[in-house]
Amino acid sequence: MNLSRYRLPFHFVQILAAVSGAVAGIVLFAPGLSANETSLELATRSQVSGEGKVTIVLTLKNPGRQPLFHIHPIFHFHHTMSHMPRIHRLDPGQSVTLTNMKHPPVRSVGSYPVVAMVRYKETEEATESYTRVHTDSFYFEEPMASKIDGKIGVEVNEDTSRIRILLKNPSSSFKNIRMMLLLPPELISDRFQGMMGLTLRGGEEKYFEVPVRKVSGPPGGIYPVHLLVEYGEMLKHYSGDIPAQINFGPVIRQGDYWPQMLVFAFLAVTLWLAFYRRFRVLKST
């Protein structure tokens, strides 16, 4: 039997290779194309009166091409939390400004952290929500930045991840610091909730680990983590923010499966028709 007559022409092999390459590209990038790539933009502006009363203005803007729904802003102030009015819908290009006057009055000269955490949904009936975290600070009479150095490392496992925190006091004086680990609602730490105190002597370093687990949200995703550091010294207040991210892998949302399925179906039908027509020609010769 002469098998050479059943070999596919070289130009046909080239076409199949080109189609396969195009399909691979579509399969790899389809999830990113189908998702709403532009997220919510946040900005804050703070005002402090001579008596220490704080007013914080939060601006939310939708820079994308699709509306956002069920937007819920929350402020985190030291060891308190303040919920803002919910926004049912934010259309493309639309911005909304909210004013918050619930921050506790400040008495000590120095800097104070402000954290706005906003949850939203990409469709009105969606069960999944997404979180944006915006950090800022304001000062009363004189800015005072924290002198505590620090960095955060992350070890991601399937069930429970670990946040590795390293803090260092480069100054010669000891610092009694207060820390708050700020996590998005999709993550939780059973060992670090609320405020935690720590004393760092001059030149001292301290290292500790915090287990963190995921409790909600879609598979995968990149989540922001912030460790707020505050302390008082010589009747002045100092604050700092140590940011990090936890990457649980690429997000595959429910609607992202359809592009891959359609591409694979198209490829299968195309290849079947090509081989069917080729063998019909060979059979008739």
Strand partners, 246: 223
Cβ partners under 8 Å of residue 29, min gap 6: none
Cα–Cα distance measured from residue 240 to residue 237, given in angstroms and rounded to the nearest whole number? 11
Sign of CA dihedral 118, 122, 124, 129: negative
* Residues, the chain: 285
User: Is residue 89 pLDDT above 80, yes or no?
Assistant: yes
The single-letter code of the amino acid at 250 is P
> In the predicted model, what is the mean pLDDT of residues 243-267?
65
Cα–Cα distance measured from residue 159 to residue 163, given in angstroms and rounded to the nearest whole number? 14
User: Is residue 10 pLDDT above 80, yes or no?
Assistant: no
Cβ partners under 8 Å of residue 267, min gap 6: 19, 20, 23
**3-class secondary-structure state, position 170:** coil
Residue 13 pLDDT level (bands cut at 50, 70, 90)? very low
Cα–Cα distance measured from residue 103 to residue 81, given in angstroms and rounded to the nearest whole number? 9
Q: What is the pLDDT of residue 4?
A: 47
User: Is residue 213 pLDDT above 70, yes or no?
Assistant: yes
**3-class secondary-structure state, position 169:** coil
Among 156, 204, 213, residue whose Cα is nearest residue 176: 204
CB 72 within 8 A of CB 85: no
Mean pLDDT of all residues in the chain?
80
CB 140 within 8 A of CB 48: yes
CB 103 within 8 A of CB 116: no
> In the predicted model, what is the mean pLDDT of residues 110-128?
89
Cα–Cα distance measured from residue 87 to residue 191, given in angstroms and rounded to the nearest whole number? 33
Query: pLDDT (tens digit, 9 = 90+) per residue, 37-50?
Result: 457 999 999 999 99
Cα–Cα distance measured from residue 188 to residue 183, given in angstroms and rounded to the nearest whole number? 7
Cα–Cα distance measured from residue 132 to residue 38, given in angstroms and rounded to the nearest whole number? 12
User: Is residue 283 pLDDT above 80, yes or no?
Assistant: no
% residues pLDDT > 90 (the chain):
39
User: Is residue 119 pLDDT above 60, yes or no?
Assistant: yes
Q: What is the pLDDT of residue 51?
A: 92
CB 139 within 8 A of CB 168: no
Residue 33 pLDDT level (bands cut at 50, 70, 90)? very low
Query: pLDDT (tens digit, 9 = 90+) per residue, 97-113?
Result: 999 999 989 999 999 99
> In the predicted model, what is the mean pLDDT of residues 76-98?
90
Cα–Cα distance measured from residue 98 to residue 75, given in angstroms and rounded to the nearest whole number? 11
pTM (predicted TM-score): 0.68
> In the predicted model, what is the mean pLDDT of residues 134-150?
91
User: Is residue 203 pLDDT above 60, yes or no?
Assistant: yes
Cα–Cα distance measured from residue 192 to residue 185, given in angstroms and rounded to the nearest whole number? 14
